[in-house]
Chain A
């Protein structure tokens, strides 16, 4: 298990949703993230830029045929930060005596 460390940047609800989605993926397409998280294009761009500046996310821009296509993935640092953040959340929960079993 990763060492626990709360990450304020990741903990913001929309960023947590984005990072959680990316943690289960190798790559995720911009539209898929947008629809899954329920953000507008501009709001998602802003959040991805914040995560990219922190070194947590890598953005890939390309084309499928003539259509532009943007994908994102967690960087190694982002994945490690997410795992530490999850461990911190679990620690808070464990400290309270509660548990959240995998469903």
Chain B
């Protein structure tokens, strides 16, 4: 039967397959606003830490609010997409996981590094200033990470994972 399929038909069918698979992969992509919300939460937590250094209860409440905020917004985005279609985890693969871990490591490492450096030279508010850099990284790098993950998932799909 495959002998009866013309090459142009086969090419069209393969292109259709990729287009439909892209629809599922696009569901997995985090929207740009997500990075802005995460960045705002990071800055909010840091500003609270700077402003309430002598009040651990306030810092603890801010940490709880931060955790709930991150969990809430991530759950909203991921579960919202999963209600429509749950993409295959294999599509992300090891490269995808490494890309995510690398980005999180870069953002956290840079922010903490700057915060400690500022604190060491006596610049205040060190946490807030460092978190602004971290927020800028999230806002600019988050959409880049999203594009990289999309590319990885498309590659893995094309390889039949």
A residues near B (Cβ < 8 Å) are 1-2, 4-6, 8, 11, 13, 16-17, 20-21, 23-29, 31-33, 36-37, 64, 83, 86, 88-93, 95-96, 98, 100, 102-103
Q: List B78-102 residues whose CB lies under 8 Å from chain A.
A: 83-89, 91
B158 interfacial contact with A, CB 8 Å:
yes
- Contact indicator A21/B15 (Cβ below 8 Å): no
Given contacts A6-B2, A88-B2, contact A93 B10 (CB under 8 A): yes
Q: Which residue of A lies closest to B81 (CB)?
A: A32
- Contact indicator A28/B16 (Cβ below 8 Å): no
Interface magnitude class on chain B: 20 to 34
Residues of A contacting B84 with CB < 8 Å? Answer: 28-29, 31-32
Q: List B1-26 residues whose CB lies under 8 Å from chain A.
A: 1-2, 5-7, 9-11, 13-18, 20-21, 23-25
Q: How far is the CA of A37 from the CA of B87 in the complex (A)?
A: 17
At the interface, is chain B mostly helix, strand, loop or mixed?
Answer: helix
Contact of A28 among B13, B24, B25, B155 (CB under 8 A): B24
- Contact indicator B24/A13 (Cβ below 8 Å): no
Most chain B CB within 10 A, of A20, A26, A28, is at A20
- Contact indicator B20/A21 (Cβ below 8 Å): yes
| A-B contacts besides A20-B17, A24-B88, A100-B15, 10 pairs, CB < 8 Å | A16-B13, A24-B87, A26-B88, A27-B85, A28-B24, A28-B85, A29-B85, A32-B85, A86-B160, A88-B2
- Contact indicator A17/B20 (Cβ below 8 Å): yes
Given contacts A21-B20, A24-B21, A36-B23, contact A100 B160 (CB under 8 A): no
Contact of A25 among B7, B13, B83, B86 (CB under 8 A): B86
- Contact indicator A8/B21 (Cβ below 8 Å): no
Q: How far is the CA of A64 from the CA of B157 in the complex (A)?
A: 30
Query: Separation in Å of the A70 CB from the closest CB of chain B?
Result: 13
Contact of A24 among B2, B6, B14, B24 (CB under 8 A): B24
